[in-house]
Chain A
Amino acid sequence: MTKRVFMLPLWIRLWHWSNALAIIVLSVTGISLHFSDPGLPLVEFSLAARIHNIAGVCLAVLYAGFVIGNIVSGNWWQYVPKSPGVIQRCLRQMQFYGSGIFKGEAEPFPPTPEVNFNALQAVTYWSIMYLVMPVVILSGLVFLYPQFAPATLFGLDGLLPVALVHYLGAAVILLFMVSHIYLGTMGPKVSSLFKMMFTGWYEH
């Protein structure tokens, strides 16, 4: 008999999927811009530039909503890895992904309404959302308003470090996204966690 427990309020689910859409759009257009090639256009450059700008501003607004929502609702606490034993629990989680799951072991730290994330999730989500995302968004805003970038730095154009930070941060988010989507299949059923992200209910 499946049990149902309500896990995610509507605002988190709405934020999650609009954020996901913005990041996918930004990835495709960002790749088009960075690897721009007249013979091999993924999205035509000026179109990609416009879409990237609009989606980037949307992402920044969504991020502000995410931060405010987390403060108001108290949801920020979910992202804090709870000591003691954070490292041990992370290692236990990795061991599950690396071997336990192949042996049919049960998820060591299944989500509950009180603790949504296992330790590895908390550490990763916290780093992505509170370290990498602000860096990518801020560097993106400087790209949008390049007059705020330093004119030169060590004899090179001041936009270069901004561009490099933006590129590296975006790459980390893209790598995170690939793993995040795959780890979404690690629920009781392959579809359980995706279903939860839409309905808010965790079935197990």
Chain B
Amino acid sequence: MRGAMALLALLAAPLAFGDDPPPTPEELVKIRAANAECLSCHSEAGLKKPPKEGMDLKKLRSSLVHLDTFTASDHGQMACTKCHGDGYAEHPHAADAKDEMAECQDCHARKAMRIERQFDKSVHAENLSDTFTCKTCHNAHTMALASKLRDPHKIVAQDNKICLDCHDSDLAFAKMAPDKKKRPPIDDIHDWLPNTRLHWKAVRCVECHTPTEDKLSLSHEIQNKDKAEKKCATCHSANSSLNARLYRHLQAEEQNKYGFLNSVMLSSAYVVGATRNPTLDKALIALFIATVLGVIGHGIVRIITTRLRRSKNHD
């Protein structure tokens, strides 16, 4: 049923706005001017110095947008009203403006269909299917695609913040979690992982908490500890899964720099077992084998010459 609905949505949708070409420079000037009007209230500056009297400042405080962050985000070239609807074009906003709000799948129909299948299997769907939406994790005003951020440190910082905002805060966790579900302390449940905090700076939670079998894209099937990846060698090996995950957007531009395997990672991390130099490895292995064989050979010659000498002395 759900699939049929999604299919209907796909057909009905004016083929994914998500794939729209970017606005022309003239259009962008218009969009920026219209957005500036919204931000004259919905920004820190607007909150400090409201352009109108008698505004509900408490409500305004909860709906501020940071211009630079928004501009750098995936939706940064879009008009506010594209999602928020024309009801918000004027102030005071229309009474039913909220009902006109666009949903993510209005533009991202195809993506939403694929993601929903993954999400349905996730731990979030299992426990929170009624309250959990795209927006729970993805802030449309701030998020940027990994392929756009490129720098692994930036990707990790953005993505892990999403998870940790709830999973490292009792207050935020309690807001979402089912009754009586207590937040497990994030450090304690990861204490099996050496250099825990260092891992969180270098890789994303989803590196382990999504199925690693899929090498093509990162799934929205967020898994709990029972299913999450625990084998270190999945990342820490020559055939590291990080290649297809955190570093997939950098793959094309960098391969085997200075003869290192997975050299694309070396710009931001030394990953034991993954970032190694096969030439150096081979040279050292050869040296080791030569030493062992040399020692064995020397020993054999010693045994033979000693025996020869002994039999000579007997004669």
In contact, B272 and A37 (Cβ under 8 angstroms): no
A38 in contact with B194 given A102-B302, A159-B270, A185-B299 (CB within 8 Å): no
A53 in contact with B194 given A36-B233, A185-B299 (CB within 8 Å): yes
A108 close to B (CB within 8 Å) = no
Tell me the minimal C-beta distance from A154 to chain B in angstroms: 10
In contact, B233 and A45 (Cβ under 8 angstroms): yes
Of A45, A97, A163, A185, which contacts B270 at CB under 8 A?
A163
Of B194, B239, B301, which contacts A50 at CB under 8 A?
B194
For the complex, give the distance between the alpha carbons of A35 and B284 in Å.
12
A146 in contact with B195 given A37-B237, A41-B233, A163-B270 (CB within 8 Å): yes
A94 close to B (CB within 8 Å) = no
Binary CB contact string for chain B from 233 to 271 against chain A (1 if under 8 A, 0 otherwise) = 110111100000000000000000000000001111110
Could you say which residues of chain A place their CB within 8 Å of the CB of B135? none
In contact, A182 and B266 (Cβ under 8 angstroms): no
A38 in contact with B270 given A102-B305, A178-B295 (CB within 8 Å): no
Could you say which residues of chain A place their CB within 8 Å of the CB of B275? 160
Could you say which residues of chain A place their CB within 8 Å of the CB of B137? none
**A-side interface residues, number (CB < 8 Å):** 36
In contact, A179 and B266 (Cβ under 8 angstroms): no
B175 close to A (CB within 8 Å) = no
A1 close to B (CB within 8 Å) = no
Residue of A nearest to B283 (CB): A171
Binary CB contact string for chain A from 103 to 129 against chain B (1 if under 8 A, 0 otherwise) = 110000000000000000000000000
Could you say which residues of chain B place their CB within 8 Å of the CB of A182? 295, 298-299
A101 in contact with B302 given A175-B288, A178-B295 (CB within 8 Å): yes
A155 close to B (CB within 8 Å) = yes
Residue of B nearest to A143 (CB): B272
In contact, B237 and A171 (Cβ under 8 angstroms): no
In contact, B272 and A171 (Cβ under 8 angstroms): no
Could you say which residues of chain A place their CB within 8 Å of the CB of B281? 34-35
For the complex, give the distance between the alpha carbons of A41 and B273 in Å.
12
B97 close to A (CB within 8 Å) = no
Given contacts A38-B237, A102-B302, A157-B265, 9 further A-B contacts (CB under 8 A): A34-B272, A44-B232, A46-B192, A46-B232, A97-B298, A103-B305, A146-B195, A146-B198, A185-B299
